[in-house]
Chain A
Amino acid sequence: MKTFRIGGVHPNDSKISRNCAIEVLPLPQTVYISMAQHLGAPAKPVVAVGDRVKTGQVIAEPGGFISAFVHSSVTGTVKSIGPRKDLAGNNMTHVEILVEPDEWAEGIDLSDTLVTEIPSDRQFILDRIKNNGVVGLGGATFPAHVKLNPPPGKTAECLILNGAECEPYLTSDNRIMIEQSSRIIIGAAIMKQVLGGCRTVIGIEENKPEAIKAMSDALAELGKCGAAYSGIEVMVLKKKYPQGGEKQLIDAVMGRQVKSMGLPIDVGAVVQNVATSLAVYDAVQKNMPLITNTMTVTGNCLPADRQHNYLFRIGFPLSFVAEQAGGVPQEVSKIISGGPMMGKAVANLDACTVKGSSSLLYMTAEQTVRKQETNCIRCAKCADACPMGLEPFLLNKLARNGMYDALEENGVHDCIECGCCLYTCPANIPLLDTIRLAKGDVIKIIRSRAPKK
């Protein structure tokens, strides 16, 4: 079984909600759709207060090259457009829509039939992906059309579908791979065609046997539908965090390493999440904009019957999702959106779901409160754990003293913020906090220097 070569940790995978089938959330009374649903420039609203919008209608246009369309997830009247606090409590423009019964925008195929025939026009596919606002759903929410359109001179040799879901607790990717396997594979075949028919690998960690079986079965079934489905394989990967990291997955699948500050396409790889593949299928075959995604509501403090995997639409208040899942238990001291390793603490439960929302994870005080920081004992556990081959203990020291030259020499900009160092540190040093900050500063310095050359 393959895996990446350097570092990594083995946290308990805690996939408690793995067997909970996806449930569709009902509609709340009001949705607040954020204009920052993706990496890059926030989208610009194109609707006005008082407008009536239909489900799937465009409500915001891209605000730059790295940006994406945003669509209304409901039918209703725009009540306000203005700042509202996001997950971290910072202001972001949201479009507030009063919800009415669904009325879908024209041109969207709502039928359940599986469309296996792939359009041959490459530009048509890319336009559909772009116009339907598809972004990478693996966490970074990078606009998908940009990634699928490699710059001239670079060709994709391998499309890797990321089904690793290495973050503990999260099970939404696992569930869609079990329940929507055919759609994911058609999505993969579409992306494969856009990239010029390269080899396609669906990487799944060994702790998801049901997903591996479902995907292999669906692949065998679709293999009969034509040549478009040949050259796609399911690859079982060893369980290790952060397997789902782009660079780690490329190493695991292709045995190639992306150089510092490089992009995956430099080594001929394009990585997309399985959820993105599902969104690509919907966008291309059904002309359905990306307004839904799957999220997990889980936690050790929840009983087995209150673990959920939900199909949500963008703009649902998190408090509404929590309410639908039976409320937040008393003993919860921290709620995390995303996985426990890389997710963000929810500072504001009135924040709303975005395209990339992947979970509401309930943690008790015992699980989350940071322990007292003590001195570094030079055990080098962090250096062993770092999947990028960095020396977190050193970077931490340099970062605290603001030694940017040395930080750059030691590759702080290569940090993927996976949190392995922090997880493994016996002295409870907040390594990631200091390194992340220094990384931002160093990248700014590198960028400011670039145009002068």
Chain B
Amino acid sequence: MTTTIIWTIAILTVLGGLLAVILFLVAKRFKVEEDPRIDEVEKVMPGANCGGCGFAGCRAFAQSCVEAGNLDSNFCPVGGNDTMKKVAEVLGLEVKEKAPMTAVVRCNGSCENRPVINDYDGLKSCRVKAALYSGDTGCPFGCLGCGDCVAACQFGALSMDTGTGLPVVDQDKCTACGACVKACPKAVIELRNKGPRNMRVFVSCVNKDKGAVARKACKAACIGCGKCAKVCTHEAITVENNVAYIDFTKCKLCKKCVAECPTGAIHAVNFPVIKPKPAPTAAPAATPAPAPVAEPVKKEE
């Protein structure tokens, strides 16, 4: 009995040792030389493996950075400039700063603006819906409202607003990885500059129909009238295929176009609210009801 156990242990020990030697030799002989910097770069990456940079994951991105020898064509949208600086430090390279971006939903076709004209009872997926027909509203270009973008977002930055039926981007969580842009079958979502203090001006519509047709389908549609392009002093606005587009690299955030747009299709977000000017000019414009009350107060002063 004891001899069996001893023999077993002895044989297995010898076998184990022998195989370990073989494995050691094989590992030596066939060792894959890999640049150690790849590991170092990978360590400073966010590790989301989202694919926003265009590579399969953070390691593939790191490998590309090391192999390319420069960082001109590589950028991690999730980590942004901070991460890229760290990568540059590790590799001893220079990196150009990029303005932070965010996803922007270019559709304002809420239930109120864009009436539903038919019922869709198929699978709740924008791609399936888009493959079947133009959607349950009169606008064949706008948001389909099934939330493919929300499902695609790995950072929890998108959510469906149940009131409007449109997706909402949480700009603090959005990393501009572009997954939602790819997921949207209607190309409604675009990556735009976050802007100074997050202030942005954009056309919240992608409807290419002629003005009257677009307006019939949606109250807030861009009708391609071109008023915004005329009023823009920075040549940032182009009107093509009956829809205006604001080039965020040229836009100086003057908001002239916002005031000019007859349908309210141009949105300005995160601008500080301008407080109404006090007494002298405000008084005559005030409604008649509070006016008598206001006057005696003044007299008392």
Contacts and interface: CB of A to CB of B under 8 A. Distances in A.
A10 B76 CA distance: 56
A89 B122 contact: no
A89 B133 contact: yes
B297 to A, nearest CB: 60
A436 interface: yes
B121 A370 contact: yes
Contacts of B138: 89
A430 B123 contact: yes
B123 A434 contact: yes
Contacts of B209: 83, 91
A433 B125 CA distance: 10
Given A88-B134, A91-B208, A433-B132, 12 more contacts: A82-B210, A83-B209, A87-B133, A90-B133, A90-B140, A344-B133, A347-B118, A348-B134, A370-B122, A430-B122, A436-B131, A437-B127
A88 B122 contact: no
Interface string B129-158: 001111100101000000000000000000
B254 interface: no
Chain B contact residues: helix, strand, loop or mixed = loop
A212 to B, nearest CB: 36
A119 interface: no
B128 A437 contact: yes
Contact of B131 (A85, A370, A437): A437
Contacts of B118: 347
A368 B32 CA distance: 61
B173 to A, nearest CB: 24
B203 to A, nearest CB: 19
A85 B133 CA distance: 11
6 contacts: A82-B210, A90-B133, A90-B134, A430-B122, A433-B125, A440-B131
A369 B140 contact: no
Contacts of B121: 369-370
B274 to A, nearest CB: 40
A83 B140 CA distance: 12
Nearest to B127: A437
A85 B209 CA distance: 10
Nearest to B136: A347
Contacts of A90: 133-134, 140
B156 to A, nearest CB: 20
Given A83-B209, A85-B140, A90-B140, A433 B134 contact: no
Contacts of A348: 134
Nearest to A429: B123
Given A85-B140, A434-B123, A347 B133 contact: yes
Interface string B159-174: 0000000000000000
A25 interface: no
A434 B135 CA distance: 17
A344 B209 CA distance: 23
Given A370-B121, A430-B122, A89 B140 contact: yes
B140 A91 contact: yes
Contacts of B128: 430, 433-434, 437
